[in-house]
Amino acid sequence: MKNQNFTTEFVLLGLSQNPTVQKIVFGVFLWVYIATIVGNMLIVVTIFCSPALLVSPMYYFLAVLSFLDACFSSAITPTKIVDSICERKMISYEGCMIQLFAEHLFGGAEMIILTVMVYDHYVVICKPLHYSSIMNWRLCGILVGVSWTGRFLNSIIQILFTFHLPFCGSNVIDHFMCDLYPLLGLTCTDTHILGLLVIANSGLICIINFSLLLVSYGVILFSLRTQC
């Protein structure tokens, strides 16, 4: 962090500079954030306080997904809510890096858990007699651990790349949150190759997860049609 980096804070332009629009954004984001946190935490508490639900892998994954969704929302939305009513929309360099790490960690882990849930549905529909032996607690723990570990390592690598970027020009981010690609436009070095790597990394992860979702749902629908 001591490398030619003269930027100590960033300015977030947000969604709009219009005061009326900002008030609307404040109300909408505040209501959605409260509903998201309350809804997700109710799901988590209900599942973990109900032994009959917690023994099911489906509800276990649902509790993990709800927790991740609450964490992901908390990493981005509070800053947006505060900025919508503040004249100076500032975020410190350290705060920006923390937000960048959190959004990639929780958002990526959420996608992987969603794919795991589809696999769980595939097993329960296509192999119902072997479901309890396949989706045992050891496998469930491994799948959740892999989702957290994989996204943690991926997020750490992206943060380390960002730490070594020299921010010595403008500190205005044309976005409502800190994200890696907008930050690349503020550096005083050539980031063309790094930008392509960022797009390839994020795109590859999304394509793999989306492909697994499509294949799993396709197999499930085919199995249901053959059974009928």
The tens digit of pLDDT for each residue in 98-148 reads: 888 888 889 888 888 988 888 888 888 888 888 888 888 888 899 899 889
The rounded distance, in Å, linking the Cα atoms of 212 and 121 is 13
pLDDT value, residue 3: 45
Average pLDDT over all residues of the chain: 81
In angstroms, the Cα distances linking 69 to 39, 41, 56, 110, 166 are: 10, 10, 20, 7, 32
pLDDT of amino acid 103:
86
pLDDT above 90: residue 63: yes
Q: Which residue has the higher pLDDT, 74 or 86?
A: 74
Q: Which residues of 63-83 are buried (b: 16+ CB within 10 A; e: fewer)?
A: bbbbbbbbbbbebbbebbbeb
Mean pLDDT throughout 159-167?
77
AA identity, residue 149: T
**Binning pLDDT at 50, 70 and 90, where does residue 67 land?**
very high
Q: What is the pLDDT of residue 1?
A: 42
pTM of the model: 0.80
pLDDT at residue 35, as a whole number: 95
Task: Answer whether 113's CB lies under 8 Å from 68's CB.
Answer: yes
Looking at per-residue confidence, does 105 or 169 come out higher? 105
What is the distance between the alpha carbons of residues 45 and 214, in angstroms, rounded to a whole number? 31
pLDDT average, residue stretch 6-29: 80
Mapping DSSP to helix (H, G, I), strand (E, B) and coil, where does residue 63 land?
helix
More confident position, 45 or 208: 45
Confidence of residue 220 (pLDDT cuts 50, 70, 90): low
Q: In the chain, which ranges are E strands?
A: 9-12, 90-92, 172-173
Mean pLDDT of all residues in 201-218: 72
Q: Which two tokens stand for residue 37?
A: 């946190």
